[in-house]
Chain A
């Protein structure tokens, strides 16, 4: 999950401008230059890859500020991870 998000973010931030893996505390806007519309596109792309409906994560979507927030969004909504935590 984290690697997938890093590679998506790198495409929007410009792969040459970021060092992978990304520091989780990086600000999406201030550090990576990712503004609202890019963030929308990233979330849609992530939702396509995970097969989820991103609009169900309304609270998380309103708090997307850092790389960690985006990872948390993906983890919260990923059906695979949800099943793993139920088994645990």
Chain B
């Protein structure tokens, strides 16, 4: 059974969502509780696992912990009209609300804050606010992991990351909101790697300057970073100014070097949870005042709160969101979104949305959250599910975490169906997903009679063949098209010539051309060598059209939604184009190709288009 307790807290009209981790039974309970403050933006998605493990380690050591999503992010909520306002004060207030919730539910008398990246900066600001408003009950310990040294730093780095990403995949960033003249609509805000900040928020972030804080924010402060201290300094040069400032406020501040942050962003199952940082945190907290180990006065039972109805204003649709556990051992977790008004469920399938890659149930750039809330307005019950080992679902013994294709995946989907049947009465289901989630939605349609409809969005591989082979083939296809692309050659030539003399320029052009041809030959050769091995797989690419036809023949409806040129479908279109085109003649099959967007719909307008078009499909089809 999952020890942690999901809950909504804060304002009843716009609650934040979080997880309370009570001290483990049998552990000596500390008088201290820790609020875990994630960063914002794209990094926050990948840090989910590390912060969950940290909270579990704290609970295991007898320290109650609360981790949460800031309002307007993750599973939390805020009204659309409020999201148009300045968000930095909202995020700071969320931290303070989390402190109050932790005190009230866990009965702790001492508070620690752990923050990472912008979460560390916000935690520092919130702690300073707490100290000013309630001097007697200030934050005792503050841990800042790889803090953003200012709000401006966060904005600048986010902007640069987005520009680099856009340069890497230019074809995926042209679907923008446009005016009647077809020109991109200007905005005072900023989008960075799928995270949007309006103009007011940017302005407030620009003023977030920890180096200007005069108030002592906590008694003890720990800065953790991967960089070594500078020569003659206690911390790397960049962090030394912050360390000096914190010392100047009367806090006991120190820096410790500990690697681990970058490794979190490794690919899929190679991703790390930064256990070394967790070790350091526990050791540092344990080294605090011995009074913190005296325990609370009696164990306070922390019970799961009732589901919270979220009732936005008149411009939006109300819905009910309930955190749920399901599966035989209640080890799987999801968020169930349902309409507020009772709905006649006869004939109306419930929806299961399957997590994508190593993402959680919120989906790429929170797309699943928006989908679920929109579809609840149409009367659907929607379960956003974490497969075993992903998000907040436990991995069975012996199974690794962060596996986008856990061995139990299709069984987990079947368990989600069982849960929904018992909970809301639906007997037929829509299974939806992006990337690996789409692969599983496709396979569920092929293998499970209860699937009425499958929403297959940018499938990675249809779960039919090995990833490395797919990458080779896609790169080979693209290199081949680039060799034929006159504009690419002209660009290469212009780059090579620059301000060089003709002789140097010619040598450079020949070198570049030889490199391109060598690269193409290498890829095609490897792809040809590997092709035979794929054909022997149990479910190969050649089985994909048949699987589609089998599902359609049973009456299952299928929507294949693709960012044009997306690798998984491009691969199948290339080798089985005739068969894939033939699917279009089946009345139950529909394909939508969306131009100008990338695999995970990084631009906000692209995500809005995805929701609009799929919602229209659901209205027409079901």
Residues of A within 8 A of B (CB): 11-15, 17, 29-30, 33-41, 43-44, 47, 54-55, 57-59, 61-62, 64-65
Contact B168 A15 (CB under 8 A): no
- Stretch among B97-105, B158-166, B291-299 lining the A interface: B158-166
Name the contact of B263 in the complex, choosing from A14, A37, A47 (C-beta under 8 A).
Answer: A14
On chain B, the residues within 8 Å of A11 by CB distance are 226, 259, 262-263
Known contacts A12-B262, A12-B266, then 17 further A-B pairs from the complex at CB < 8 Å, ordered by chain A residue: A14-B263, A14-B272, A33-B270, A34-B266, A35-B265, A35-B268, A36-B165, A37-B193, A38-B267, A39-B168, A44-B160, A44-B161, A47-B164, A59-B488, A62-B167, A62-B170, A64-B168
Contact B266 A40 (CB under 8 A): no
Grouping DSSP codes into helix (H, G, I), strand (E, B) and loop, the A interface class, with mixed when no group exceeds half, is helix
Please measure, in the bound complex, the distance between the C-alpha atom of A40 and the C-alpha atom of B271, giving whole angstroms: 16
Over the window 258-288 of chain B, the binary record of Cβ atoms lying under 8 Å from chain A Cβ atoms (1 yes, 0 no) is 0100110111101110000000000000000
Please measure, in the bound complex, the distance between the C-alpha atom of A35 and the C-alpha atom of B259, giving whole angstroms: 19
Please measure, in the bound complex, the distance between the C-alpha atom of A65 and the C-alpha atom of B520, giving whole angstroms: 13
Contact B164 A59 (CB under 8 A): no
Name the contact of B266 in the complex, choosing from A13, A15, A43, A59 (C-beta under 8 A).
Answer: A13
Given A37-B193, A40-B168, A44-B164, A15 and B267 contact (CB-CB distance below 8 Å): no
On chain B, the residues within 8 Å of A37 by CB distance are 42, 46, 193, 265
B468 at the interface (CB under 8 A from A): yes
Contact A29 B267 (CB under 8 A): yes
B492 at the interface (CB under 8 A from A): yes
The smallest beta-carbon distance between B93 and chain A, in angstroms, is: 29
Name the contact of B167 in the complex, choosing from A14, A35, A41, A54 (C-beta under 8 A).
Answer: A54
The smallest beta-carbon distance between A37 and chain B, in angstroms, is: 6
Contact B267 A34 (CB under 8 A): yes
* CB under 8 Å from chain A, chain B span 242-269: 259, 262-263, 265-268
* CB under 8 Å from chain A, chain B span 490-543: 491-492, 495
On chain B, the residues within 8 Å of A36 by CB distance are 165, 168
Q: Which residue of B lies closest to A39 (CB)?
A: B168
The smallest beta-carbon distance between A4 and chain B, in angstroms, is: 14
On chain A, the residues within 8 Å of B268 by CB distance are 33, 35
Could you name 18 residue pairs across A and B whose Cβ atoms are closer than 8 Å? A11-B226, A13-B266, A29-B267, A29-B471, A34-B266, A38-B265, A38-B267, A40-B165, A44-B164, A47-B164, A54-B160, A55-B167, A58-B167, A58-B170, A59-B491, A59-B492, A62-B169, A64-B168
Name the contact of A30 in the complex, choosing from B165, B166, B468 (C-beta under 8 A).
Answer: B468
On chain B, the residues within 8 Å of A29 by CB distance are 267, 471
Contact A61 B167 (CB under 8 A): yes
B157 at the interface (CB under 8 A from A): yes
Taking each of A12, A34, A44, A64, which has the highest tally of chain B beta carbons within 10 Å of its own beta carbon?
A44
Over the window 472-496 of chain B, the binary record of Cβ atoms lying under 8 Å from chain A Cβ atoms (1 yes, 0 no) is 0001000000000000100110010
Q: Which residue of A lies closest to B157 (CB)?
A: A44
On chain B, the residues within 8 Å of A41 by CB distance are 161, 262, 265
The smallest beta-carbon distance between B351 and chain A, in angstroms, is: 28
Name the contact of B267 in the complex, choosing from A33, A40, A55, A61 (C-beta under 8 A).
Answer: A33
Give 6 nearest A-B pairs by CB, closest first.
Answer: A33-B270, A35-B267, A33-B266, A38-B265, A33-B267, A11-B262
The smallest beta-carbon distance between A64 and chain B, in angstroms, is: 7
On chain B, the residues within 8 Å of A54 by CB distance are 160, 163-164, 167
Given A37-B46, A61-B164, A14 and B266 contact (CB-CB distance below 8 Å): yes
On chain A, the residues within 8 Å of B272 by CB distance are 14
Over the window 158-191 of chain B, the binary record of Cβ atoms lying under 8 Å from chain A Cβ atoms (1 yes, 0 no) is 0011011111111000000000000000000000
Please measure, in the bound complex, the distance between the C-alpha atom of A13 and the C-alpha atom of B475, giving whole angstroms: 22
Given A29-B471, A37-B193, A38-B265, A55 and B259 contact (CB-CB distance below 8 Å): no
Please measure, in the bound complex, the distance between the C-alpha atom of A37 and the C-alpha atom of B193, giving whole angstroms: 9
Please measure, in the bound complex, the distance between the C-alpha atom of A61 and the C-alpha atom of B492, giving whole angstroms: 13
Over the window 451-477 of chain B, the binary record of Cβ atoms lying under 8 Å from chain A Cβ atoms (1 yes, 0 no) is 000000000000000001001000100
Given A43-B164, A59-B492, A38 and B262 contact (CB-CB distance below 8 Å): yes
Please measure, in the bound complex, the distance between the C-alpha atom of A12 and the C-alpha atom of B164, giving whole angstroms: 17
On chain A, the residues within 8 Å of B468 by CB distance are 30
On chain A, the residues within 8 Å of B165 by CB distance are 36, 40
On chain A, the residues within 8 Å of B170 by CB distance are 58, 62
On chain A, the residues within 8 Å of B471 by CB distance are 29-30
Please measure, in the bound complex, the distance between the C-alpha atom of A43 and the C-alpha atom of B262, giving whole angstroms: 13
Please measure, in the bound complex, the distance between the C-alpha atom of A37 and the C-alpha atom of B265, giving whole angstroms: 7
The smallest beta-carbon distance between B113 and chain A, in angstroms, is: 25
Q: Which residue of B lies closest to A11 (CB)?
A: B262
The smallest beta-carbon distance between A55 and chain B, in angstroms, is: 4
Please measure, in the bound complex, the distance between the C-alpha atom of A40 and the C-alpha atom of B193, giving whole angstroms: 10
Please measure, in the bound complex, the distance between the C-alpha atom of A78 and the C-alpha atom of B493, giving whole angstroms: 20
Over the window 34-58 of chain B, the binary record of Cβ atoms lying under 8 Å from chain A Cβ atoms (1 yes, 0 no) is 0000000010001000000000000
Please measure, in the bound complex, the distance between the C-alpha atom of A30 and the C-alpha atom of B267, giving whole angstroms: 9
